[in-house]
């Protein structure tokens, strides 16, 4: 008798921007681990307007991996835009995503699955040790502390893009951010729906190919602007809810 697998069905997706050097190996590794965790599997890559050979790598992979679907953006829509496309494309009961740059190993998905318990709606990874230049580690620490204080989120590492989420919890959510602020927006919306989450430590690796798309002046400014907009929207909703409660 075959042993039942932990998940009924699983979507795995990667946002990719100029990740030709890493995306092929990540997709193949993700396909192997996903098949060990669920019988019904799909792998999705959102090619977010890449200017390198990412499209060619994915086209070749599709000839060998029937589980792979590619969503292509004609132009770069930003990290948030890529995530929104990935969530919209996912069809299975559970959705896992991580980045296409190779700083996380998709085989570690099994760690997230072992943290699932009855009633747990999503599992958030956190970096055991961040393998980045010192300045990025410093900025990341400040960013996490600021986000936790402003948005009152209890997540240990909000910018660890290694997450497993029940799709039924994602369906009612309308995400708007195009930048890295989408991770905060996602966590806030999941919290607002009284979902239950678990956290698991995940290894983080040095980037072997390319450079960060986030750490430039334009993207940092855009993320800051969208975080302020998100904070204002949430504050306005709380004020409206309080006024309605008082008038009732």
Q: For the segment 70-111, what is each residue's pLDDT rounded down to a tens digit?
A: 999 999 999 999 999 999 999 999 999 999 999 999 999 999
Distance CA 121, CA 93 (A): 11
Domain boundaries, given as residue ranges, for the chain: 7-247
Please give the backbone phi and psi of residue 152, each rounded to the nearest 5 degrees, phi first: 55, 45
201: nearest Cα among 101, 130, 98, 95: 130
User: Most confidently modeled of 31-45, 176-190, 222-236?
Assistant: 31-45
Residue 230 CB coordination number (10 Å): 20
**Residue 57, SS3?**
helix
7-247 is classed CATH 3.90.550.10: yes
User: What is the C-alpha radius of gyration for the chain, rounded to an integer number of angstroms?
Assistant: 18
**239 — pLDDT class (breaks 50, 70, 90):** very low
CA dist., res. 182 & res. 177, Å (int) = 5
Query: What pTM did the predictor assign?
Result: 0.88
Helix ranges (DSSP H) in the chain: 23-37, 54-62, 78-89, 109-114, 134-151, 167-170, 182-192, 217-247
Which residues does 61 contact at the CB level (< 8 Å), separation at least 6?
A: 24, 27, 28, 68
Asked if residue 161 lies in contact with residue 97, where contact means CB atoms within 8 angstroms, the answer is yes
Confidence at residue 148, expressed as pLDDT on a 0 to 100 scale = 87
Query: What is the number of H-type helices and E-type strands within the chain?
Result: 8, 7
Average pLDDT over residues 61-71: 96
Look over the chain and give the mean of its residue pLDDT values, rounded to a whole number: 88
The partner residues of 44 in beta bridges, in order of sequence, read 13, 69
Higher pLDDT, 219 or 119: 119
**Is the distance from CB of 101 to CB of 184 less than 8 angstroms?**
no
- Contacts (Cβ under 8 Å, ≥6 apart) of 151: 184, 187, 188, 230, 231, 234
* Cβ contact 27:14 at 8 Å: yes
Section 198-208 average pLDDT: 93
Per cent of the chain over pLDDT 90 is: 66
pLDDT score at 245: 36
């Amino acid at each position: 008798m075959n042993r039942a697998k932990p998940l009924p069905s699983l979507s795995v997706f990667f946002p990719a921007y100029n990740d030709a050097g890493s995306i092929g190996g990540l997709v193949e590794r993700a396909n192997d681990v996903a098949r060990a965790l669920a019988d019904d599997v799909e792998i999705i890559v959102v090619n977010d307007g890449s200017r390198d050979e990412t499209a060619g790598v994915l086209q070749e992979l599709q000839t060998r991996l029937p589980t792979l679907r590619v969503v292509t953006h004609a132009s770069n829509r930003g990290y948030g835009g890529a995530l929104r496309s990935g969530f919209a494309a996912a069809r299975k009961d559970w959705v896992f995503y991580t980045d296409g740059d190779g700083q996380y190993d998709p085989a570690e998905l099994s760690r997230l699955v072992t943290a699932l318990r009855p009633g747990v709606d999503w599992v958030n990874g956190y970096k055991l040790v961040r393998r980045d230049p010192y300045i990025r580690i410093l900025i990341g620490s400040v960013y996490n502390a600021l986000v936790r204080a402003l948005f009152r989120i209890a997540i240990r590492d909000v910018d660890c893009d290694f997450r497993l989420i029940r799709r039924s919890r994602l369906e009612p959510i309308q995400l708007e951010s195009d930048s890295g602020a989408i991770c905060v927006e996602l966590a806030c919306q999941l919290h607002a729906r009284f979902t239950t989450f678990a956290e698991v430590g995940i290894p983080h690796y040095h980037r072997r190919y390319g450079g960060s798309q986030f750490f430039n002046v334009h993207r940092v400014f855009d993320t800051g602007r969208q975080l302020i907009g998100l904070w204002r929207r949430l504050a306005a909703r709380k004020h409206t809810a309080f006024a309605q409660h008082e008038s009732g």
